[in-house]
Chain A
């Protein structure tokens, strides 16, 4: 019993160490963003800033169009997520609950797009969209990710748990399919829809390769902007890069702090399928 207790303490120490290693880079970014330039370029580097200097955040506003980048990221993430929710609900509902002739084929089609890794689509999409003159436009950036295999699959799995008898009752009362989807199924699927919202939003907000390839200047998103900011001139001091990084991370950290439990549940659901 006593032996067991000391094992638990030892394992706790191990996990706290791992946790700190996981947090370290984030804490370091935060610390750098609050240092003055003299502090940031000094060696040895300091983990704790001398004073909480907020000047970096206003300084980056003058250097790069951070507001524009933030709004681009927000428009891209939000609009693609809302479209994914719409296409996943309509597509999955039709296949699972209406089952018109050919629904098996559509179901296989949905599953087959799950199997295409997103990054593999990048150059084919670019080839097509550049001939259509859709590079650096909202449509070119967003529509290719407006229906996703993940979204369709996730909602499909949830709809399978809703008993048909509930829908039959509404059908007997004369409700049309589109009304049943809008006023009965969608509210019932709210937990799955909100999990899908969180995952899709985070995924788009964090995405790097796709916006890097398809945007030029007008629709550049924050992650691409940060990397360009870093690589364009080697002389950009790290306290400024850190400030842009923190601005990029704020929505991500907020979502994680508020909805961590839901995110973990969502990951577990994917693994159990």
Chain B
């Protein structure tokens, strides 16, 4: 009895540092931000402003533009990464590929590399006049492309670099799910005369579903929340706002306009959005698994 009490006390002592850090740096900032979002003015001179920041946000065309840009960016890059990642992972796991270690190690490398550094070199490679990409295109007789100069091609370039960063990671995630499937399933199916694609459809796809949910969450986060560095350093949001993703808009409100309360309102909206997404993915998960059993 006394031993149990002492154990519990030790347990609480061990929890103290972690709990203090979580309360101070996870919960408290959100309470402060929520209160701050109801104010207006510069740091040190805040005045109560009610819900006007939120009203301003929802009537701002820049807000809707950034939401649309982020959604398009996330949707297109996620669809490409999802399908390409799955097909390549399955090929890597089930087919005999030579130099497999070299290839998979190289394809994962962009995921590990310092994004700021990689994005700067991409920006240079995309340069219309001096960039190496247009030079290489010239070698095979193609016209130079204004990669980052026009709204539509800037968005495509942004998506291309996002795929460059993330493809290896998605392959690893899918491959780990696929490797967990016993080889005997495929052998048995092959014995019954099932071809490669039939095995894909009837064995790989249903059995990799648990991984799918995790991949989807990671893709959504990468698109919606982690796209700041990419857009900020590759295009700066331009031309004419065509690549201004949500986090970039939020950042420029905070440190371009110095409107911290408004940027906190934007943070709250993003937070709610992410919460709704996670509920959506969860219900998708339920539906996927109810089909499975």
Contact = CB atoms under 8 A, between A and B. Distances in A.
Interface stretch (A16-24, A48-56, A58-66, A189-197): A16-24
Contacts of A9: 98
Given A152-B18, A227-B120, A208 B102 contact: no
Nearest to B17: A87
B172 A267 contact: yes
Contacts of A25: 110, 118, 121-122, 125, 164
A249 B121 CA distance: 13
A178 B164 CA distance: 46
B211 interface: yes
Interface stretch (B53-61, B70-78, B199-207, B220-228): B220-228
A252 B132 CA distance: 25
Interface residues of B, number: 98
A109 B270 CA distance: 21
B32 A178 contact: no
Given A15-B92, A223-B114, A271 B176 contact: yes
Given A19-B102, A272-B177, A128 B113 contact: no
A271 B173 contact: yes
A8 B33 CA distance: 56
Interface string A64-102: 000000000000000000000011101101110011110
B14 A98 contact: yes
A121 B26 contact: yes
A190 to B, nearest CB: 19
A148 B107 CA distance: 28
B106 A23 contact: yes
B29 A11 contact: no
A169 interface: no
A106 interface: yes
B286 interface: no
A123 B18 contact: no
A123 B117 contact: no
Contacts of A113: 22, 26
Interface of A: 7-9, 11-12, 15-16, 18-23, 25-26, 28-29, 32, 41, 43-45, 47, 86-88, 90-91, 93-95, 98-101, 103, 106, 109-110, 113, 115-128, 130-131, 143-147, 152, 171, 176-178, 181, 202, 205-206, 208-209, 213, 222-224, 226-227, 230, 238, 241-242, 245, 248-249, 252, 255-256, 260, 263-264, 267-268, 270-273
Contacts of A208: 115-116, 228-229
Given A8-B95, A120-B270, A208-B116, A127 B106 contact: no
B250 interface: yes
B85 to A, nearest CB: 12
B19 A106 contact: yes
B19 to A, nearest CB: 7
A177 B10 contact: yes
A211 to B, nearest CB: 10
A252 to B, nearest CB: 6
27 contacts: A15-B100, A22-B167, A25-B121, A25-B122, A43-B129, A45-B131, A87-B17, A91-B18, A94-B15, A98-B7, A100-B9, A119-B247, A121-B26, A121-B29, A122-B267, A124-B32, A124-B267, A126-B254, A146-B21, A177-B10, A202-B112, A205-B114, A209-B247, A223-B117, A226-B117, A270-B214, A271-B215
Contact of A206 (B107, B115, B211): B115
A88 to B, nearest CB: 8
Interface string B267-291: 1001100100010000000000000
